[in-house]
Amino acid sequence: MTVPADDSSLALDHRERMAPRLDEVLSRLEAAAQRVGRDSREITVLLATKTRTPVEIAVAVELLRERGRRAAVGENRAQEIAKHADPLLVDNAVPRHFIGRLQTNKARDVVGFAELIHSVDREGIADALERRAETAGLTREVLVQVNTSGEESKGGFAPTVDAIAPIVERLRASSSLRPVGLMTIGANTSDDAAVRASLRMLRELRDWAREELGAPELEQLSMGMSGDLEIAVEEGATIVRVGSAIFGARPGV
């Protein structure tokens, strides 16, 4: 156990609560991967950690590792970044990502802790992240967020070649940011066909960019959450972002 003694009974409670939930998520992943001939172990399970405590997050990381899975943690509130400095998380050296809506005035904090930033959703954010990474002497990997559902509440570039090509080229020219793929939040609907169409669009755009822009480094497709992870895996997700299916319903959300 990486969890210190004073937290251990709490950690045990979380283990007992979360292990069956996590196993259910992994069997959903596995079944979906099998349907399309993929190895589910190549898919990173990113823990969407908003509102969760360091103990809960550390336990989930540990459970994933015990099961031989690639784990990462993803924060989406710059105000919650401080908890990633908790010894529980620092000690277990889990990769840290940022998945939330970015504000330019938080770029420095985000660059400071996240090795992969999923949510480059407009040009100005690329500028701010680049400046902050350069100043700090860091190189950060980034994903271009695409609004594949057309829902107004969601950020991201339009899902067209004309919108994606310039931001990908702009990021490839950066000395401190390295684009490694695309990210989307699937359509918010119970209509599976609509969800699938939005996720498939992301893969097609990624494949187009790799081919037509000569950008083979765009390997990652960050898509799929608790409700749509099977469809995402079938459509090629390399990173699924899972919160409530592992941790339980978010309090007060």
Ligand X SMILES: *Cc1c(COP(=O)(O)O)cnc(C)c1O
Closest to ligand X by CB, 99 vs 110, is 99
Using CA atoms, how far apart are residues 22 and 65, in angstroms rounded to an integer?
12
Closest to ligand X by CB, 143 vs 215, is 143
The gap from C-alpha 107 to its chain's centroid, in whole angstroms, comes to 17
Closest to ligand X by CB, 89 vs 99, is 99
Closest to ligand X by CB, 89 vs 245, is 245
The DSSP annotation for 186-242 comes to: --SSS-HHHHHHHHHHHHHHHHHHHHHTT-TT--EEE---TTTHHHHHHTT-SEEEE
As measured in angstroms, the least distance from the Cβ of 210 to ligand X is 23
As measured in angstroms, the least distance from the Cβ of 248 to ligand X is 9
- How far CA 140 is from CA of 7, 17, 39, 180, 189, in Å, comes to 33, 35, 27, 10, 33
As measured in angstroms, the least distance from the Cβ of 213 to ligand X is 25
Closest to ligand X by CB, 147 vs 174, is 147
Closest to ligand X by CB, 187 vs 215, is 187
Which residues would be at the binding site for ligand X (CB under 6 A)? 48, 50, 76, 99, 185, 225-227, 241-245
Closest to ligand X by CB, 15 vs 21, is 21
Instruction: Give Dmax over CA atoms of the chain in angstroms.
Output: 55
Closest by CA position to 123, among listed 77, 183, 168: 168
As measured in angstroms, the least distance from the Cβ of 143 to ligand X is 11
Question: Which residue number has the CB closest to ligand X?
Answer: 243
Name residues whose C-beta falls within 8 Å of residue 105's C-beta, 6 or more positions apart in sequence. none
Using CA atoms, how far apart are residues 152 and 4, in angstroms rounded to an integer?
44
As measured in angstroms, the least distance from the Cβ of 152 to ligand X is 16
As measured in angstroms, the least distance from the Cβ of 180 to ligand X is 17
Q: With beta carbons less than 8 A apart as the criterion, state whether 61 and 47 touch.
A: yes
Burial annotation 37-64 (CB, 10 A radius, 16+ → b, else e): ebebeebbbbbbbeebbbbbbbbbbbbb
As measured in angstroms, the least distance from the Cβ of 206 to ligand X is 18
Can you list the alpha helix ranges (DSSP code H) found in 36-116? 54-66, 87-91, 107-113
